[in-house]
Structure 1
Amino acid sequence: MTREEIYSRFEELDKRASLGGGVDKIEKQHAQGKMTARERIGMLLDKGTFNELDKLVNHRCTNFGMEKKQIAGDGMVTGYGKIDGRPVFVYAYDFTAHGGSLSETNAAKIVKVQQLALKTGAPVIA
C-alpha cells in the first residue's frame, strides 16, 4: 500500500467512526430531541479544541454474536480539549452505538482519560 492509500483508508475509517452507530441512529437521536455524544462534547468545549482518543477501538466480546457488531469507538467518546482556555478531559456514552452500554473497552477508555487527567491535574467531565 502506498502512503496515499494508507492515509485514504485512515480517513475512511475516521469518517465512519464519527458516525457512531450510523446515520439512522443519529437521526433517531435527533428525532427524540437529543444530541449525539460528539455533538454534546462539541457544545461543551471551546471550538476546535477537542482531540478524540481511541476513536477506532473496538470491543473484543464474542458472546451473543457481538463479534458481528463491531462499531469503531465501541459506544464511548473520550478525549481532551479546553473550556475557557483551560484543559479538561471528557467522556460521553454514545447511545447510537450499542445503546450506550458499558463494555470492557469502554471502561478501559474511561480509565485512560482519568489517568491522563490525574497526571496533568486537569478535571474530568462525563
Structure 2
Amino acid sequence: MLMRALPLLPLLLAFACTAPGNTVPAKPAEPFKPTLSLRPVAVSLAKGATQAFQAEINYPEGVRYMRQPVGWRVVEPDGGSITGAGLYTAPATPGVFHVEVRREDFPDILASATVTVK
C-alpha cells in the first residue's frame, strides 16, 4: 500500500502562525482628536433678549468629566454677557457681536457664533 506524506512546511507554518506568543500585534489606537461644535452659529436678537448656546465636544476614550470643560465669552466689549452655561443676553445697543466657546482641556480648540442685535 502506498501512503502519501503531506508536505510538512505548510503544516508547520500553520502551527507557527497560531502558536501563543506569536500573535500579530493589534493595530495601534489612533491619537485622540478633540472636537468642538457650537449651535446656533448665527442668530438675530432684539436688544436685551436672551439666547441659549450649546457646545458639543468629544471625549478621550474612557474619560468623563463632572461638567463639560468649556469656557464662554463675548468677544466685543459691551457686546452683551454670557453665563457659564452658555446663556447669552444681548446688550441694549444694536450691533454685530461674537460669542466664543473654548475647550478648557484643549485651549487651542474654539468655536464662535455671530449675534446680530437689532
**Pair in the same fold by TM > 0.5:** no
Structure in which a larger fraction of residues adopt strand: 2
| Higher RCO structure, 1 or 2 (CA under 8 Å, sep 6+) | 2
Structure in which a larger fraction of residues adopt helix: 1
Quick check: which has more Rg, 1 or 2? Answer: 2
